[in-house]
Structure 1
Amino acid sequence: MYGVNSGILLVDKPKGITSHDVVARTRRLAGTRKVGHAGTLDPMATGLLVLGVNHATRLLHHLVGLDKEYLATIRLGLGTTTDDAEGEPLAAASADRLDAATEEAVAAGMRRLTGVIEQVPSAVSAVKVAGKRAYQRVRDGEEVTLAARTVTVAAFDLLAVRRGDEFVDADVRVECSSGTYVRALARDLGEHLGTGGHLTALRRTRIGAFDVDEAAVLEELDVAASLVSPADAARRALPVVHLTAQQATDLGHGKRIEASGAPALSPGDAIAAIGPDGRLVAIVERRGDTLKVVTGFPPEEADA
């Protein structure tokens, strides 16, 4: 039972609940407190959450940095205090500004936000400021100004534009590096166009090689049937080195092994070390001509 209940879960989070709510429900269904997730979704957002169950939570650290894909709707016409529909509205744009927000102008503004950019996270983000989450500081009445960070927006595609009486809605697709805030893209696009902007819908459709089409609906989640083994999950997220039985034993004891046969990566890059029985033995990194254990997985983690 212990081994069966260890693995990675792909869950399609519904709107209106927190990522922690999904974790809490999964803990009850799995019968264990050892459940975590790789990457928070706001309550208004839907889509893919990657969860780890039991010792597979150790793998989450190596999944959280994967690139993401989102589908979103950006409403141009006013900004909000949270850069999404849950915040208080700010000043509305003039009719002239909205008229100037043509499909061509919106697409041009999006191109300015594509590639390697400097982005200031939303003040109500989970970024820590002196050990405290920014959103908590905002709730406590503090003024929060976050530093810009370098992020990569690999794709920012305009899918459709819909015009209302006092707004323009843009449906978009975003591919981005971990740590990119789609809310901030909406804010910055609105600032560039002079209309203000905020998110009204957000759906995460992909994390690395994991797609929301594979995810279980939370209300129908069968943990045992939905688990992806740690080895299968690691193969999809990381380069792999295949071990001999002796190498698997040595890594299991925390020893270093020769790096022959391992991918030629930079020092510090994570590699999934898979034993001859198909089990994830460890996440390792190259140190000179050897491989060193970064995260070990006990024998009980045999594939379900």
Structure 2
Amino acid sequence: MDGILVINKPEGMTSFDVIARLRKKYGQKKFGHAGTLDPMASGVLVILAGSATKLLPFLKDTDKEYIAELELGTSYDTDDVFGKAEATAPVNTDFDFAAVLHEFEGKQHQLVPKASAKKVNGKKLYEYLRAGQPVPEVYSDVEIYSIEPLEAAGDCPYRFKIACSSGTYIRSICRDFGTKTGNLAAMKSLIRTKANGFTIEDAQPLDAEMHTLYPAERLLGYERLEAFDTDSLPPQKDQTDRTPKPYVCYDDIRNGRKVRIDAKGDQVLIVYKDQPLAIYSRIEEGKPAFASKRGLWS
């Protein structure tokens, strides 16, 4: 099995728990995820299988979309209701929910939650927290593209939908919403509805009988070039013509040889019979010479 699976991760499972289940289900070890999803969250979790795991170092940070609920009246050490309660206070409801949410739109210098995997001096923030030590303040530059209120559901009147850059902590948004409205606040629930170009509609239950396998190249935004067998290369007007071409020879790529190609970008994805074959990078700016960065065959 080589390609991409899109799983609707259940609440209460880690991303690694999902991979462990898939390894057992499909009888293979090579699985990796394209970005973790916290245990208490559910929704889109993109999984790479087989040779597609070789793409992990080349994946670009992508925008995300979530549906979240927040709770007022209590603060927690994790900035969500799954942590340890730190304080309680009367709830102030004298605010315009939509108006306050819109204040978050744009670029933010966001205070990272104390219970996060961000590192300071080689130590993750949650390790400081668990050890009862002072947790260093860490800030991250993120961008909120849109944030809007949703209809109340169940016993939670404060639900919202948010589209944001990779690395945004929705827990921090909920915590800071409390600060803006004179409340203590924390995230109550979280569903990731979009990641790596896939949506919640694409996501399948973890316990599905079989999962749809998407081609690995869907995760790469690179320019695509076709590789041909030697006997099926496009004809040339002149056999001495050495100008860069928008295609390559399969044998050259399979053997990791340098090639001269006509490409706009500095990295290209070489495909052979619609299957990813290799990622090639430009050797020198402005020059058509490219070298193999990573072979993607099994």
What interval of TM-score do these two structures reach, taking the shorter chain for normalisation? 0.7 to 0.9
Q: Deviations over 1:236-258 (max 9, x none)?
A: x4133222324443333333333
1:226 aligns with 2:195: no
2:241 is aligned to none
Q: How does 1:208-247 map to 2 (within 5 A)?
A: 208-222=196-210, 225-231=211-217, 233-234=218-219, 237-245=220-228, 246-247=248-249
Percentage identity across paired residues of the two chains: 32
Aligned to 1:48, what secondary structure does the other structure show? strand
Offset of residue 284 of structure 1: 3.3
1:68 is aligned to 64
Q: Which amino acid aligns with 1:241?
A: R
Q: Which runs of 5+ in 1 are unaligned?
A: none
Offset of residue 136 of structure 1: 2.6
Q: Which runs of 5+ in 2 are unaligned?
A: 229-247
Work out which of the residue numbers 104, 123, 126 in structure 2 matches 1:135: 126
Q: Is the 8 A contact 2:14 2:39 kept in 1?
A: yes
Work out which of the residue numbers 132, 149, 160 in structure 2 matches 1:158: 149
Q: Distance in 1 between matches of 2:103 and 2:252?
A: 51
Offset of residue 211 of structure 1: 1.3
Offset of residue 230 of structure 1: 1.8
Offset of residue 259 of structure 1: 4.1
Q: Distance in 2 between matches of 1:195 and 1:77?
A: 6
- TM-score, structure 1 length as denominator? 0.82
Offset of residue 283 of structure 1: 2.7
| Inter-CA distance 112–294: structure 2 relative to 1 (3 Å threshold) | farther
Q: Deviations over 1:124-160 (max 9, x none)?
A: 1121233332223322222212321111111111123
Q: Distance in 1 between matches of 2:42 and 2:260?
A: 44
| Inter-CA distance 112–172: structure 2 relative to 1 (3 Å threshold) | same
Q: How does 1:1-304 map to 2 (within 5 A)?
A: 5-63=1-59, 65-95=61-91, 98-100=92-94, 102=95, 104=96, 106-160=97-151, 169-222=157-210, 225-231=211-217, 233-234=218-219, 237-245=220-228, 246-260=248-262, 262=263, 264-265=264-265, 267=266, 270-275=267-272, 277-287=273-283, 288=285, 289=287, 290-298=289-297, 300=298
Q: Distance in 2 between matches of 1:195 and 1:47?
A: 28
Q: Distance in 1 between matches of 2:176 and 2:8?
A: 28
User: Larger deviation: 49-58 or 128-137?
Assistant: 128-137
Task: Calculate the aligned-residue CA RMSD, in Å.
Answer: 2.3
Q: Deviations over 1:32-91 (max 9, x none)?
A: 222111111111110011111122112233346111111111112222111111112233
Aligned to 1:153, what secondary structure does the other structure show? strand
Q: Is the 8 A contact 2:225 2:268 kept in 1?
A: no
Offset of residue 198 of structure 1: 0.8
- TM-score, structure 2 length as denominator? 0.84
Q: Deviations over 1:221-243 (max 9, x none)?
A: 52xx5222223x24xx4133222
Q: Is the 8 A contact 2:32 2:49 kept in 1?
A: yes
Aligned to 2:171, what secondary structure does the other structure show? helix
| Inter-CA distance 257–169: structure 2 relative to 1 (3 Å threshold) | farther
| Inter-CA distance 55–85: structure 2 relative to 1 (3 Å threshold) | same
Q: Is the 8 A contact 2:128 2:135 kept in 1?
A: yes
| Inter-CA distance 75–249: structure 2 relative to 1 (3 Å threshold) | farther
Q: Which amino acid aligns with 1:146?
A: E
Which one has a bigger Cα radius of gyration? 2
Q: Is the 8 A contact 1:92 1:195 kept in 2?
A: no
Offset of residue 162 of structure 1: 7.6
2:236 is aligned to none
Aligned to 1:243, what secondary structure does the other structure show? strand
Aligned to 1:135, what secondary structure does the other structure show? helix
Q: Which amino acid aligns with 1:68?
A: K
In the comparison of the two structures, how many residue pairs are matched?
276
